[in-house]
């Protein structure tokens, strides 16, 4: 694997603003695909079974991280350091290396089956386990292709993948509903079909773009894993904490309370959609700032990102935070409003969570994965302790645990950012 070059020049041929629309389209349709599956789950499951589905969804989210953080993120950092269409050459190795970690990640769905077995029926467990496994297997590779297309300044191709993903999700779920398929098989089956078709389209687009280019230097598995193991650890800690937190709430407050919390999460998801839409075009610029130790560029892009997340989140609260007649989510996800104030609390927690997404990526590029792992370890402890309040406050324990734990991460990341660029200024003054 080629080393990350600290003097990598920013590639300004494609401006951030010109890529924002494609990034937002990409993130919106990718999240709409997941939202559609969640929306169907809210309406086909009762409160109890929705709580079981919520635990599986957390396992689905957790399982994607194994291949993505261990193999794909280091490969994407390597892609940033390559020129033009050669950025796409990382696929020659990354996807092949990612197969076994993808299988390992998908196997985490079995943990959800084991933990919820005493509370769920056999048909529900079988359907969610089989389809959750296949969706988790394909999802990280599909995300990797889309994100690398953004790095290679092919953002509209990534958007085309997401539009396809959404369309296939709707079509597949619609067909299964018409055919009266068992409800436990519907949500994750839709995502499986969508990821498979979208990934196929992405690889066709990549092959077309690379038809006249030669391969670049090969990535090395050992080098990827050496970088990725810390990235995986720092990401797995909060994901594992989220899984444990979901189980704590499910057992202490009951599956129905967890179902209400899951419904509120679905309503609050647009905040994460906005953040993802901003990250896709801004992440390469933030990573370049970290590689070049360019404080001015870092501050500029981080301020743009955080301000838009906060403003967007605060504007969303009056629209969807309360159960009023002009709120479309009240009719789409009625279970979310069974507990007054739960949606607003979840939106606020999502604002805190989303505010650091870009800075986390920047610190990854700055080789601060170990520090990120420490921050997430402490945060995980906070989350799990706060989750034990579920016996008293019910579904509110989920956004309270997530928001409280992430506030510690926010403070730690700001301190880490200052240290990284202070060290840079010291090094430059010495030379």
Residue 124 has pLDDT above 90, yes or no: yes
Contact 345, 391 (CB under 8 A): no
Q: For 210, list phi and psi in degrees, rounded to 5.
A: -100, 10
DSSP string, 262-284: HHHHHHHHHHHHHHHHHHHHHHH
Distance between CA atoms of 384 and 381, rounded to whole angstroms? 5
pLDDT of residue 3: 31
Residue 218 pLDDT: 80
pTM of the model: 0.81
Give pLDDT tens digits for 127-156.
Answer: 999 999 999 999 999 999 998 888 888 888
| Residues 420/363, Cβ–Cβ less than 8 Å | yes
Residue 425: pLDDT over 80: no
Window from 76-85, 105-114, 118-127 with minimum mean pLDDT: 76-85
In the DSSP assignment, the letter for residue 14 is S
Are residues 393 and 384 in contact, defined by beta-carbon separation less than 8 angstroms? no
Mean pLDDT of 273-300: 85
Residue 386's contacts (CB-CB under 8 Å, 6 or more residues apart) are 397, 400, 401, 404, 405
Over the stretch 25-57, which tens digit does the pLDDT of each residue have?
887 788 889 889 998 999 899 889 999 999 999
Residue 133, CB half-sphere, CA atoms under 13 Å: how many?
11
**pLDDT tens digits for range 330-383:** 999 999 999 999 999 999 999 999 999 999 989 988 888 888 889 999 999 999
Closest CA to 188 of 398, 67, 45: 45
Render the burial of 382-405: b for 16+ CB within 10 Å, e for the rest. Answer: bbbebbebbeeebbbbbbbbbbbb
Q: Residue 379 has what pLDDT?
A: 94
Measured between its terminal Cα atoms, the distance across the chain in Å is 29
């Amino acid at each position: 694997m080629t080393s990350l070059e600290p003097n990598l020049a920013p590639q300004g041929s494609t401006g951030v603003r010109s890529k924002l629309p494609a990034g937002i389209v990409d993130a919106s349709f990718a999240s709409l695909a997941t939202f559609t599956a969640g929306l169907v789950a809210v309406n086909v499951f009762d409160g109890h079974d929705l709580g079981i589905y919520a635990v599986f969804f957390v396992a689905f989210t957790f399982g994607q991280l194994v291949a993505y953080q261990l193999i794909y993120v280091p490969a994407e950092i390597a892609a940033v350091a390559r020129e033009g269409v050669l950025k796409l050459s990382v696929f020659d190795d990354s996807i092949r290396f990612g197969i076994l970690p993808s299988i390992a990640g998908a196997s985490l769905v079995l943990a959800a089956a084991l933990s919820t077995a005493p509370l769920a029926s056999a048909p529900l467990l079988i359907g969610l386990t089989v389809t959750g496994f296949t969706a988790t297997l394909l999802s990280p590779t599909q995300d990797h292709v889309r994100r690398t297309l953004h790095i290679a300044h092919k953002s509209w191709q990534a958007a085309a993948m997401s539009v396809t993903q959404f369309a296939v999700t709707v079509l597949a779920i619609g067909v299964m509903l018409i055919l009266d398929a068992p409800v436990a098989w519907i949500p994750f089956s839709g995502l499986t079909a969508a990821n498979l078709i979208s990934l196929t389209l992405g690889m066709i687009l990549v092959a077309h773009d690379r038809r006249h280019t030669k391969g670049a230097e090969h990535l090395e598995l050992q080098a990827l894993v050496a970088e990725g193991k810390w990235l995986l650890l720092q990401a797995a800690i909060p994901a594992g904490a989220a899984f444990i937190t979901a189980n704590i709430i499910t057992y202490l407050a009951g599956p129905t309370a967890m179902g209400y919390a899951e419904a509120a999460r679905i309503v609050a998801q647009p905040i994460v959609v906005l953040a993802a839409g901003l990250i896709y075009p801004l992440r390469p610029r933030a990573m370049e700032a970290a590689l070049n130790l360019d404080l001015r560029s870092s501050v500029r892009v981080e301020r743009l990102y955080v301000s838009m997340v906060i403003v967007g989140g605060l504007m969303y609260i009056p629209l969807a935070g309360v159960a009023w007649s002009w709120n479309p989510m009240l009719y789409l996800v009625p279970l979310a409003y069974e507990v007054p104030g739960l949606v607003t609390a979840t939106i606020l927690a999502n604002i805190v969570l989303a505010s650091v997404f870009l800075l986390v990526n920047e610190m990854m590029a700055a080789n601060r994965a170990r520090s990120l792992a420490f921050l997430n370890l402490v945060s995980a402890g906070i989350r799990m302790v706060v989750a034990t309040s579920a016996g008293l406050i019910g579904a509110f324990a989920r956004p309270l645990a997530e928001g409280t734990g992430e506030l510690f991460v926010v403070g730690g990341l700001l301190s880490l950012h200052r240290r990284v660029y202070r060290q840079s200024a010291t090094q430059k003054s010495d030379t």
